[in-house]
Each structure stands twice: as C-alpha cells, then as structure tokens.
A and B are shown apart, each in its own frame.
Chain A
C-alpha cells in the first residue's frame, strides 16, 4: 500500500550532480541528492518526506518507479519528534518500471524489477535482484547476490552480481535529451532551479 503523503514538511532542494540526466516530467520532492551518470526517466517519483534521500552514481530509475522516504505507517508527522533518517542508495542500481522502494539502505549493483515492492525495514546489500511483482517487506538484511523470484518469493543465490547497465545508461544519456527537457544540474550548495 502506498503511504499517504504529508507535504507540509517537504523543503524543496534537489541537488543534481554534473552528468546526471533527470527529466523535467519526473516528480522529485524534498531533499534529494542525485549522483553523476544517473538517469531518471519521466514520471519517476522520488519523494523525500521523512528525511533526505541520497542517490549515488550510475543508477537507472525508470518510469513510474517510486522511491520514497516516508514516515512509518502508523505515525503522524507532527505527533512526535521523529529524527529524519537519510535514505542511502548506492551506485549502479536499477529501479525498473513501476517498482516501489522504501528501503532505507540500498547497496550497489542491485536490480529491483518491475512492480516489485521493497519495504522500509529491508536492507539490500550488493548484487541483489528482487524479481518482478515480488513484495519484500520483512525486517532483514538481504545477503549479497540473492535473487528473489516467483510468486512465492523463492530465493536463491547466484554466483555473480548483475552487470552494471553501462550500455543502457550511455544510450539513454544520448537519447533522452533529444526528446525531453532536463532539470538543471545544481551544485550541492546553491539553490535549485527548475528548467
């Protein structure tokens, strides 16, 4: 279930590094930092309401993906003093179309396939693949190179991590600016500007 959004506390400051391709049609709210060579497709949503989100380099965030740092379900934003927790996302991750990720810590080289859901208390290490339509909302650290697949979320360990999508990223970074307006890259200290 998608959490409801409380927008009263969102302070808009989106920091986009040089070399990242972020389309204007994407919906980025709150304190979000996006690393170099990351591609954010149109209609992707990155929402930092309960804390900042830091996204590393070389990530691929596809359409209708939702990366959200939200309050835990049964807490109102003004009820107690909640420390804002930062959501950290590593490098070379792929968030495929329509996935929902609320995990606070994601390592490198992970793939979250289409329509998968990753809960808040899951920690993805490196090389993990969450299969299409798999919902993982346990409270655990997923070991490296784990593949979660199937309607029953079976698991297995693969011997090598998934390859970083460099070819795809290069292609997108060439093609997307031809068809979409991009958000201006901003250094970390200055104010944001929407194009």
Chain B
C-alpha cells in the first residue's frame, strides 16, 4: 500500500516556458496568476547563508568574503563528513619549572565515519579548541588576485561604455528609484552586487553607476603575460615500473574537492572549511509575487510565505489498482482530497483526440461524468466524534467512500497496448476561490470572492500489465 501512495505516480502538467510533468507536492501555485508553477518557471533568489553544522547565519557580503565557507567547521577530506574536535592529554613541561611535566590538553580533528585524523597529514595538535586550524596557502594566490583585479577593471570599463551609450539614447528623466522587486546579479568576473532587473533589460539609472566608480577608475592595473617554459620537469625514472600504493592514491572526488592543490597523495589531503548552504526564496516570473519565502533563522523550517500547490489544488491519489489486462476494462480506485476550507466542485474530462498535452497515455480511460463534490477541510473535524453525516447524495457506482474532505471514486481503464506500463491522462476541472485577491472598492462589498474554474492535466502511471 505504501508504494501506491508514492507521489511520482500522479503527475500534473505545468504549462510554463517548458511543459513539465511533476507531482503536485513539488509544485507551487501563484494565486495572483491562478496558475501552477514549477521550480523551473520561477526565479530563485538567495535569502541567507548558513553553515549546516553549526547553524551560524552569515550575511551575504560576509559569505562572499569567506568564499562561502564557514569559519569554524571543517570537512573531512577523505569522506566529506563533518570533522569533530577531540582532545587528548599530553604531558608538557611547565613554563616555570622545566623538570616537572603537567598534563595539557591538545586538540586534533577527527572524522567519526572514516576515522581520519588531522595527525594523518602531519598537522600538529593545537592547544586551542577552535580557531587554531589554518588552511594551507595556495602558492599562486597572489598572481590569481592580480589577474582578478585586472579583469574586474576591464569589465568595469566595458560596462561604463555600455551605460554611456544607453544614456545617450534615453531621454533624460529622474533616475528610477530602486523597485522592491530586484534581484542580485553577480556580474562578469564577480565585480560586486548590482541591483538589476533580470530579463526585461530595463536599464538601471546610469547616473548611479558613473558617479560611484569614477574615483577607482584612475588606477590602471597592468599584468604580465604568463611565461611559457621550454623545459619541463622530467618524470622520475621508475614512474612506469613502481607498484602503485593504492591506499595512498586519492580518488577523483577527493582530489577535485580541493581544486587549488588537487593532491595525488592521501598524505597531502588537508581538511577544508565547510561549505555554506543557503535559503532561497522563489518568485513568480510573470507577476513578480513571492511564492515561497523561508524564515531567516537557520534553525526554523517554517515559511513566511508558502504558496504550495498542495494547499490550493485538489490532489488525486491512487488507492488501489486491480489486475490490468490488455483491452479489458478494469476499475481503478482513486482518491481526491480537498485542501481548502470551502466546498469544491470537481469534474473530470477525458482528453480529446489529438490533445497536444496527451502524449504519454497508453490506455483509454472513462471518467465519471457527474460532478464530484468535495467537502471543505475542517480542522476540528478529527476531534469531533459525533460527526454529522454530510448529506451529499453520492452515486454508489462512482463514489465508494467519503471521509471529511476526501472521496474515493472509480475510473475505468482499458489498456490499449500489450506490453509496457499503463499510463492514463485526464483533465481535472475545479473551482477556485481566490481569497487573496486585492480588496475591491467599497461598492462591491457583497462580492465575497468569485469562483474561477481551473483545469489541470493529470497523468497517472498505473504500473505494468498483470501477467
């Protein structure tokens, strides 16, 4: 039974820039546009950075300075687990009296999963519990920094020229105030954050750009071109004959996690600071409203705004599948759940011939022709033992059971192909009351909220034919 509740069996079609078929639990619903949105047709914005092990919050500017890594936590270079600090007692001479020894605490890093310790790579034990661990210096840092500065300056110049051209074309008017809905865009070569509209190409106030950076523009940075060397260090003589010491060779994954050094030997694998994770908020691309906005606190899993599809759209789930045989009609039991608090009317339609959305179905389906009525979700109903019968007249051939906001109903499936999985598709039409619509003028005080009818394309995968 648990496998039938798997949400991947029921897919809803999202008509965005691309047509995507995704389970309802992974979709969002923009109640201003009244459309389903998937992760691919929303814009993602970074809210905040935090470390997954110490849960420390970090503002984005600071995160960028530290290259998106936590200052306190380390990753095991061998198995990428989080390293923990352990202490041992070592005898150390007292500073006053060199002959007597006292126990001092020495700290080292150890991995609980693969038992790697910092002593394996030769890192000495530190006397402070945290903050004593240094990452090894990259010998090419200076050259890389100089190159980055030079290219940043180049990019800056290109952008100024582009802005000047645009300014010359545009009619001069007040510089636009920065609107609320702007997105951080990391520019070419990571110059810095500029607030810019993502796709529409509306120019920012060019005056702002010119005035700030003029002071820095004056410094010209030149770089030396890289020198090509004629002679390369020769390989050692026994390179091809020396037997490989397998435990010493690093795996590709271990090597590439440290792109600065890419050590070939396990004895040079130094631990790295842990990568920060980020919380992101999602925004509908058409109406620029937020669809999902998490709380700022890393320890909190709640959302300030959470417009997920499961709380607005009735959800279809497969309850039981009988043995499906080629060209024989069988009845599949489905459930429909109403997530909103008012009564919802749902009707199902089969897809017409030559429906452009209907590409995957391998069986004919006959859906109930009558409209199904779903009661509203009543949060207190589960505690109310004397639940009154709901008084809906249900056709017993169609509706098998009814339980608060859920009904079970039959559809008839006729598999058309002899082999392969059986997939059916149909259209689900329901009424949706938009409670979030902006408050209208006082003339229409009585209009509670109009119901609009939404149609979704639903696909069910019912598994293989019975043998």
A149 touching B247, Cβ below 8 Å: no
**CB of A150 to closest CB in B, whole Å:** 7
Residues of chain A contacted by B120 (CB below 8 angstroms): 158-159
A147 touching B119, Cβ below 8 Å: no
Bound CA span A150–B266, Å: 17
B119 touching A160, Cβ below 8 Å: yes
Cβ of A11 under 8 Å from chain B: no
B116 touching A158, Cβ below 8 Å: yes
B117 touching A156, Cβ below 8 Å: no
Cβ of A162 under 8 Å from chain B: yes
B119 touching A149, Cβ below 8 Å: no
**CB of A188 to closest CB in B, whole Å:** 36
Partner of B247 from the list A129, A155, A160, A162 (CB cut-off 8 Å) is A155
User: Given that A149-B79, A150-B79 are known contacts, is A156 also in contact with B114, CB under 8 Å in the complex?
Assistant: yes
B residues 106-130 near A (Cβ < 8 Å) are 113-117, 119-120
Interface size class of A (residues with CB under 8 A): 10 to 19
Q: Which of B78, B114, B248, B266 is the most central at the interface, judged by chain A CB atoms within 10 Å of its CB? A: B114
Residue of A nearest to B114 (CB): A149
Cβ of A157 under 8 Å from chain B: yes
**CB of A163 to closest CB in B, whole Å:** 9
Bound CA span A131–B116, Å: 13
Bound CA span A155–B117, Å: 15
A156 touching B119, Cβ below 8 Å: no
Partner of B78 from the list A131, A156, A162 (CB cut-off 8 Å) is A156
Interface size class of B (residues with CB under 8 A): 10 to 19
Residue of A nearest to B111 (CB): A149
Residue of A nearest to B246 (CB): A155
**CB of A147 to closest CB in B, whole Å:** 5
Q: Contact mask B300-318 → A, CB, 8 Å, 1/0? A: 0000000000000000000
Residues of chain A contacted by B247 (CB below 8 angstroms): 146, 155-157
A162 touching B115, Cβ below 8 Å: yes
B residues 231-251 near A (Cβ < 8 Å) are 247-248
Residues of chain B contacted by A154 (CB below 8 angstroms): 114
The 3 closest A-B pairs by CB, nearest first: A157-B247, A149-B114, A147-B115
Enumerate 27 A-B pairs (CB-CB under 8 Å) in ascending A order: A129-B115, A131-B113, A131-B114, A146-B247, A147-B114, A147-B115, A149-B114, A149-B115, A150-B79, A150-B113, A150-B114, A154-B114, A156-B78, A156-B116, A156-B247, A156-B266, A157-B247, A157-B248, A158-B115, A158-B116, A158-B117, A158-B120, A159-B119, A159-B120, A160-B117, A160-B119, A162-B115
Q: Which residues of B contact A (CB under 8 A)?
A: 78-79, 113-117, 119-120, 247-248, 266
